[in-house]
Amino acid sequence: MPTITTPDGVEIFYKDWGSGQPIVFSHGWPLSADDWDAQMIYFLHQGYRVIAHDRRGHGRSGQPGTGNDMEHWVADLAALTAHLDLRDAVHIGHSTGGAEVASYVARHQDRVAKAVLVASPTPNMLKSADNPAGQPREWFDAVQAGIVGNRSEFFRDVPTGPFYGFNRPGATPSEAVIANWWRQGMAGGIQAHYETVYTWLQDYTGDLEKITVPVLVMHGEDDQIVPFASAVPRAVEHLKNGTLKTYPGYPHGMLTTHADVLNPDLLAFIQS
């Protein structure tokens, strides 16, 4: 398996297929590069070079006892892009990966052409006086409690319920999609999954304000994980060159459930 070793000795697994302009994908919690299957194969067939990595503590990457935080994740991504000498790249991040992309681009814009934030917690998702539509602190505590209490069971409940909107009236749950989410999650480490929650409490406003390259913000209006009103309109307000595209009724995991819609939209933005 292709890997790089970070300066602090962690092996990071990655996929690197095709040629042409590079598109780099950053996955969400608690998943892996495999969550980008529908996008990787689509853009590969469109003539792009596609790259996705497993964040440290996730998937096939190492599971260190330290560094499960945004600072190290961005440094790991920077090490990967430097190793592959990626330039004029498009960075696409989903959920936690969206915060990773925002933080990376804010620091390494010389290598970046465009960025996309999909269902991203940026600028912040914690409920507060300034963000009344955010998730209450108790919600984050419940996620950590679920991880500690019975991670395997919790990792069935999340995709069965709010992640893909399968808990909505009239929804048709896909057992294959649920099982694939569980498979990816259980391949990672419980410590990294637990500590990831702390990154959801952070404020990424400063990163957004540093970004000058074009950024597309995509969000489902029925996102039960990162509520639409908690982050999306405010994210665009902090971007110098941001565009907002919303999807009525779409869930947090819309890249999987509605890849047939989102992939062409991503392509149109990249080619614009």
- Asked about 223 being catalytic, the answer comes back as yes
Sort residue 88 into left (φ over 0), alpha (ψ -120 to 50) or beta: left
Active site residue 72: no
Helix or strand run (H / E) with residue 207: helix 205-210
Q: Among 27, 223, 230, 238, which one carries the catalytic annotation?
A: 223
**Beta-bridge partner residues of 15:** 52
Q: Which of 32, 61, 95, 103 is catalytic?
A: 95
CB-hemisphere CA count at 13 Å for 172?
1
Between the CA atoms of 247, 30, 182 and 147, what dihedral angle is there, to the nearest 10 degrees? -120
Which of 229, 241, 154, 238 is closest to 190 using CA atoms? 154
Cβ neighbourhood burial of 271 (10 Å; 0-12, 13-18, 19+): exposed
DSSP state of 21: S
Q: Report, as residue numbers or ranges, the catalytic residues.
A: 95, 223, 252
